[in-house]
Structure 1
Amino acid sequence: MSLFEDTYRTIEKGSEGVFRDKGSKFIAYAFPFISEDALKDIIQELKDRHPKARHHCWAYRLTPDRSVFRINDDGEPSGTAGRPILNVLLSLDVTNIIVVVVRYFGGTLLGVPGLINAYKSATQEALKEALIVEKTVNDVYTIEFDYLQMNDIMRIVKDENLKVLNQKFDNKCFMDVEVRKMQVNAVVHKIGNIDGVKLMYVRTL
């Protein structure tokens, strides 16, 4: 992701796709995915749903700059499952997504080219059913200010069209806002011009 690029493509919600070859059935499940912490639960849920399936192979991409990825062949010959799944994600330039392909073995070996095609095709079918959306890369900031400065802060929030995530108003007020990457410098500058206001970076979404 370049310095000025602050958008990425991902899927809006989960989707499924199916591919069959020589009796084997490949069911692909695509999910929005923002943290590796969710991996075990997703795999376990699909294993519970498909206890008789032979393989549960997967690939994911994470982060808006698309720099994090992992693949797993789950017992298939190396390079025949996870890599073809990942290649579909790469070709569509999507991130914050995981695709798990569940395979029921049909009794006939497909060979390496057949497996690569099957895992790729199942993934493509799932993503054909998915709604791919473009999202912005946003930073979350906490603003700390005095109650008397409320109007000044709210004017900036309105002018810059910031999303307020939560707020607490008392003598000392706190507000968490989402700021699009390309707006950060302008917002920091405007808030910095108000005496006594503190602005703290929290995380990037």
Structure 2
Amino acid sequence: MLPEYRTIYQGGEDEIVEKKSRFIATVIPVENEEEALEFIEKTKKKYWDARHNCFAYVIGERGQLQRCSDDGEPNGTAGKPMLDVLLGNELRNVAVVVTRYFGGTLLGTGGLVRAYSQAVKAGLQASVVITKILGVKLHIETDYTTFGKIQYILAQRELKILDTVYTDKVELEVLIPKTELEQVMHAITEGTNAQADMTPKEECYYAEIDGVPTVLE
């Protein structure tokens, strides 16, 4: 699994108007091609009376699967520019459909490329874009004397505590980027004179959403 990648947490919809043609962009997160194709068909049914429903999607943490369609527009004027916007934003596991209602005026090749690109950008701005980080849940047990030192070390690194249990000792669960795990454990060992017991637990992807670390899977 990648240490991190950008994706969509919550899809969105927006539209632009170019020479009376409406370009409606609908963006959603997808996990596989089946979800992407279902979304495309659903959108085509919703906008059944539109002239075009062009699409693009990128699936896989490394963008292994990439597809796009001009859906009747001149070759290379819709799907590819849409896909280029997704790739330019380094997005993964995302699909977008841009629906066009023709306004009666031809836009030309360059005009179409710009319109479809701008529509996707508008759709992304209406969505919630996140960076998924591969993390490890670290379980820490310590006494009250060293608890403050651990809090200080975590705060320095802007690491968030998921849970705290107070009994005759203090138990913490902390979400740490996998790439920083060894450094953090070393810092805690040094800072507490090895007075803290640490156990790495399961790996998971998480993201900062409204300033709160949210476990995604």
Q: TM-score, normalised by structure 2?
A: 0.61
Classify 1:83/1:181 alpha carbon distance in 2 versus 1 (closer, same or farther; 3 Å).
farther
Gaps of 5+ in 2: 141-176, 181-216
Q: What's the counterpart of residue 61 of structure 2?
A: 64
Supply the AA of the counterpart residue of 2:74.
P
Aligned residues of 2:27 and 2:97 also touching (Cα < 8 A): yes
2:96 to 96, 99, 107: 99
Supply the AA of the counterpart residue of 2:16.
F
Supply the AA of the counterpart residue of 1:26.
F
2:110 to 109, 113, 127: 113
Q: What's the counterpart of residue 83 of structure 2?
A: 86
> Residues 5-53 of structure 1, C-alpha deviation per residue, up to 9 Å, x if partnerless?
5100011111012111111100000100110011332122112211110
Gaps of 5+ in 1: 139-155, 160-179, 184-204
Q: What's the counterpart of residue 39 of structure 2?
A: 42
2:123 to 119, 123, 126: 126
Q: Give the distance between the partners of 1:181 and 1:79, measured in 2 at CA.
A: 40
SS in 2 for 1:12: strand
Supply the AA of the counterpart residue of 1:22.
K
Percent identity (aligned): 40
Q: Give the distance between the partners of 1:136 and 1:77, measured in 2 at CA.
A: 39
Q: Give the distance between the partners of 1:100 and 1:77, measured in 2 at CA.
A: 17
The Cα shift of 1:157 comes to 7.5
Count of residues paired in the alignment: 150
Aligned residues of 2:11 and 2:126 also touching (Cα < 8 A): no
Q: What's the counterpart of residue 9 of structure 1?
A: 6
Q: What's the counterpart of residue 146 of structure 2?
A: none
Q: Give the distance between the partners of 2:121 and 2:73, measured in 1 at CA.
A: 19
